A and B are shown apart, each in its own frame.
Chain A
Amino acid sequence: MTALLGTFGVGIALVGAVGGLTSLILALASHRSDRHSRALFWIAVMVSGCVVAVVAMEIALLTNNFSLAYVASNSTESTPVLYKFATLWGALEGSLLLWGFVLCIYVGAVSLSFRRHISDRLVAWALLTMLVVCVFFFGLLAGPADPFGTLSSPPVDGDGLNPLLRNHPLMAIHPVMLYFGYVGFTVPFSFAIAALVTGRLGEGWLLSIRIWTLIAWGSLSVGILLGAWWSYEVLGWGGYWAWDPVENASFLPWLTGTAFIHSVIVQERRGMLRVWNLSLLLATFALTIFGTFLTRSGVIESVHEFSASSLGPLLLGFFAAILVVSVALVGWRGDELRSPGSIDSPLSREGSFLANNLLFALFAFVVLLGTIFPLIVESINGDRLAVGRPYFDRMLLPIGIALLLAMGLAPLLTWRSTSRQVLAQRALGPAACGAAVMGVAVVIGAEGLGPVLGIGLGGFVIGAALRHLALACRRNGWRGLTGRSGGGMVAHVGVSLLAFGFISSTAFSEEGEFHLRPGDTGSVAGHQITFVELTDTMDGPNRVVRALIDVKGRGGYSPAITQYPTFGRPISTPSVATSFVDDVYLSLIAIPEEGSDLVVIRVLIEPLVAWIWVGGLVIGIGTLLAVIPLKGRRSSRREDAVSEKAL
């Protein structure tokens, strides 16, 4: 019954998407702008269909309806309710259903927010592009990735999700945030395509989608960091970023998206970099689809479990189509895109944005190359090689350092050109801040040129951002913190905090492995740990072995290791004694042998790692502040922007 309801919902959503697309094509072809609004009806149909499908899947998951293949292979009766709910995005088909759902939310919200401008060809073309994407995804859900396939003889209990995906509440938030980011870039992409098609290449449409781009960017940033945090809290190896292909797949659109939200300012202000900005938007969306292909086609080995499927060729085909259409459109409009104006001096605000963009593009290139290089080499001569963390660390460190430098300089520079005197005067405070941070870091034991330089530049960035915020708040009160520049500077502070945490936890972490009996102690980097006792209990069908560890000055912590009956390898669950100075990360290496109380404990000391999460929070707050418009200006400006047909 629920299966039928779900299939029906997906079918209705597909019909809605196709209907909306057809009605827009007909209206645009016949130049009947009064008919554009017919698409709104179909969009409403699509959204309702998708809601029905999602509700059906949730009902099936929460009521343990194992006649559905998806529920049977990804859920069990004993799964806690929260994770049953989150199983919707725990595996391939469900995650695509979530993709469709988030897409519906965006398309619905765009239609609502632009309903008064629906007769505008630009808006119609944007909706049309979005509906093409909808048709593709609902097409996948209706056929090759059907989440509502049934089993003729349902099992008594399901297999359950990989236990790693159901033991931490972050798993319920991280994918959703990530999808709001990923999918959100469909909106600016669609407007970019619409601008190219209609030839309305002025800045109007950019202003009208600014808020959507920021929401997508902020969600993607927070989503990626929540994933890193989950990895840190759950996987037990003490790291949060492994340059794994799936992580890279989410990082690539973030890099191009970040480049865009900066370089678009140059276009709004000076009318320049049009081709570049359009290309960045097109690339960002293409990269989200490419990432989906990489992670859902089984071409790349990864710890993230999305296996199998016939989706590979379809996603690759869709990616190729996006690429061809984008390149063709940019080529077609090439002449009209050439902007007048010039950048007078490298030492100017626009010069620093240009540097920022070059660095982000290079960064993205390295990440993309490193991710797909093993595939390329293997297809050329059959050699198997790996491109791992040492490669990314070495190649990206200089780019990262240069980015921090640009990040600190940019807010100090004026538009057009900046004289050396002005820069020397403005940069004094931030530079002093950077020097102080650097000095303190060296005094308390930081070493290595790269890390110390990075930390110092982080201080410089914070100094420059605070200077900007202080001046803005002197003029506008607390509203100085809002708007794109205020919120942007708050986000810069967040990035610096994140950089402190990232650099010190990578460069200055220490590690020890101890074989302990109850009462034994060990010490790493000034932290003393004492093994108190071992407990061995049954939690339902699962055997849980816990070691109670006393971390001196922090209290008791119990890393555990769990043997799930439905999953071969035992899963180690770390326990982390967090502080703003350093984390003591404890994990149990193996279940002790029968009758023995000797445990193997791995201890990692990671300085300042908590600041990564704090930095992520600050970036999120910065994005929200940037979305808050200065009072009363937003709506009027947007209407101007869209209704100015002359653009």
Chain B
Amino acid sequence: MRRYQRISWLLILIIVTAALVASVVADDGPATQGERAYEIKSTMLCPVCDGQNVLESNAPVAAAIRSQVDDLVAEGRSDGEIRAWMARQYGSDVNANPPRSGVGALVWILPVLAGVMAVGLLILAFGRWRSGREIEPSEEDIRIVQALREKN
């Protein structure tokens, strides 16, 4: 039974590892210009339609941005250049991704800090609970136990 269990776990481990490796290998990022343009468009917000990105929106300005992204990708501009160009053209809130510098970076940092703090508190709590369990027996406890032992 024991052995059968061990072999099964090994098998599961192999399958999971193989699947994960395959998933990473297969995920080769944007292969074509079209895929790259698609990824950029999905992070550009339509300036006039409250939160929809330019892929989702049927507004004329969204269509304009879509074709501008296509053009810029075809020209061989980098992702960063295209984003900067769009921000100059339509305002910085066209980017669905908040900036990674200045005050805006806080939105990325705060959750990580909160996560670290939460885990830290949890470790602390477990430490306290564990130490709480190892209570030194008082003299009375020892006396009671001894009395019981002698009785038996």
- Of B7-15, B74-82, B142-150, the one with at least 4 CB within 8 A of chain A: B7-15
Q: Is A442 an interface residue (CB 8 A)?
A: yes
Whether A377 and B16, one on each chain, are in contact in the complex, defined by CB atoms closer than 8 angstroms, is no
Interface string of B106-140 (1 = CB under 8 A from A): 11101100110011001001101110110000000
Q: Is A237 an interface residue (CB 8 A)?
A: yes
Chain A residues with Cβ below 8 Å from B43 are 388-390
Cα–Cα distance between A451 and B15 once the two chains are bound (Å) = 16
Q: Is B73 an interface residue (CB 8 A)?
A: no
Chain B residues with Cβ below 8 Å from A374 are 93
Cα–Cα distance between A243 and B38 once the two chains are bound (Å) = 19
Cα–Cα distance between A47 and B57 once the two chains are bound (Å) = 44
Cα–Cα distance between A452 and B19 once the two chains are bound (Å) = 8
Whether A439 and B15, one on each chain, are in contact in the complex, defined by CB atoms closer than 8 angstroms, is yes
- Of A354-362, A480-488, A539-547, the one with at least 4 CB within 8 A of chain B: A354-362
Whether A428 and B5, one on each chain, are in contact in the complex, defined by CB atoms closer than 8 angstroms, is yes
Cα–Cα distance between A144 and B16 once the two chains are bound (Å) = 59
Q: Which of A364-404 contact B (CB under 8 A)?
A: 365-366, 369-370, 373-374, 377, 380-381, 383-391, 395
Whether B51 and A388, one on each chain, are in contact in the complex, defined by CB atoms closer than 8 angstroms, is yes
Q: Is the interface of B mostly helix, strand, loop or mixed?
A: helix
Cα–Cα distance between A247 and B51 once the two chains are bound (Å) = 12
Cα–Cα distance between A243 and B111 once the two chains are bound (Å) = 17
Q: A386-B98, A438-B16 are in contact. Are A449 and B56 (CB under 8 A)?
A: no
Interface string of B80-115 (1 = CB under 8 A from A): 000000000001111111110011101110110011
Interface residues in A, total, Cβ within 8 A: 62
Cβ-defined partner of A302 (8 Å) among B50, B53, B91: B50
Whether B23 and A428, one on each chain, are in contact in the complex, defined by CB atoms closer than 8 angstroms, is no
Whether A373 and B92, one on each chain, are in contact in the complex, defined by CB atoms closer than 8 angstroms, is no
Q: Is B64 an interface residue (CB 8 A)?
A: no
Chain A residues with Cβ below 8 Å from B104 are 377, 383, 385
Q: A365-B111, A388-B45 are in contact. Are A456 and B129 (CB under 8 A)?
A: no
Q: A343-B126, A388-B43, A390-B96 are in contact. Are A302 and B51 (CB under 8 A)?
A: yes
Q: How far is the CB of B131 from chain A (nearest CB, A)?
A: 10
Chain B residues with Cβ below 8 Å from A431 are 9, 12
Cα–Cα distance between A163 and B116 once the two chains are bound (Å) = 47
Q: Is A447 an interface residue (CB 8 A)?
A: yes
Cα–Cα distance between A451 and B23 once the two chains are bound (Å) = 9
Interface residues in B, total, Cβ within 8 A: 57
Chain A residues with Cβ below 8 Å from B99 are 385
Whether A449 and B111, one on each chain, are in contact in the complex, defined by CB atoms closer than 8 angstroms, is no
Whether B51 and A439, one on each chain, are in contact in the complex, defined by CB atoms closer than 8 angstroms, is no
Whether A346 and B126, one on each chain, are in contact in the complex, defined by CB atoms closer than 8 angstroms, is yes
Whether A386 and B95, one on each chain, are in contact in the complex, defined by CB atoms closer than 8 angstroms, is yes
Whether B19 and A377, one on each chain, are in contact in the complex, defined by CB atoms closer than 8 angstroms, is no
Whether B23 and A386, one on each chain, are in contact in the complex, defined by CB atoms closer than 8 angstroms, is no
Whether B15 and A435, one on each chain, are in contact in the complex, defined by CB atoms closer than 8 angstroms, is yes
Q: Is A30 an interface residue (CB 8 A)?
A: no
Whether B50 and A425, one on each chain, are in contact in the complex, defined by CB atoms closer than 8 angstroms, is no
Cα–Cα distance between A380 and B104 once the two chains are bound (Å) = 11
Q: How far is the CB of B124 from chain A (nearest CB, A)?
A: 13
Whether B5 and A452, one on each chain, are in contact in the complex, defined by CB atoms closer than 8 angstroms, is no
Most buried by A among B11, B23, B50, B98: B23
Cβ-defined partner of A456 (8 Å) among B19, B26, B91: B19
Cα–Cα distance between A301 and B11 once the two chains are bound (Å) = 52
Whether B107 and A449, one on each chain, are in contact in the complex, defined by CB atoms closer than 8 angstroms, is no
Q: A358-B122, A377-B103, A446-B23 are in contact. Are A383 and B56 (CB under 8 A)?
A: no
Whether B23 and A448, one on each chain, are in contact in the complex, defined by CB atoms closer than 8 angstroms, is yes
Whether A385 and B92, one on each chain, are in contact in the complex, defined by CB atoms closer than 8 angstroms, is yes
Whether A236 and B97, one on each chain, are in contact in the complex, defined by CB atoms closer than 8 angstroms, is no
Interface string of A567-583 (1 = CB under 8 A from B): 00000100000000000
Would you mind naming 5 contact pairs between A and B with Cβ atoms under 8 Å apart?
A342-B128, A358-B119, A385-B99, A391-B107, A424-B9
Instruction: For the complex of A and B, list the 3 residue pairs with the smallest distance between their C-beta atoms, beginning with the closest.
Output: A388-B96, A237-B56, A342-B129
Task: Known A-B contacts: A386-B98, A442-B19. Give 20 more (CB < 8 A).
Answer: A237-B56, A238-B56, A242-B56, A243-B51, A343-B125, A365-B111, A373-B107, A390-B42, A390-B96, A391-B97, A428-B5, A432-B12, A441-B19, A442-B23, A442-B26, A448-B23, A448-B27, A452-B20, A453-B23, A511-B38
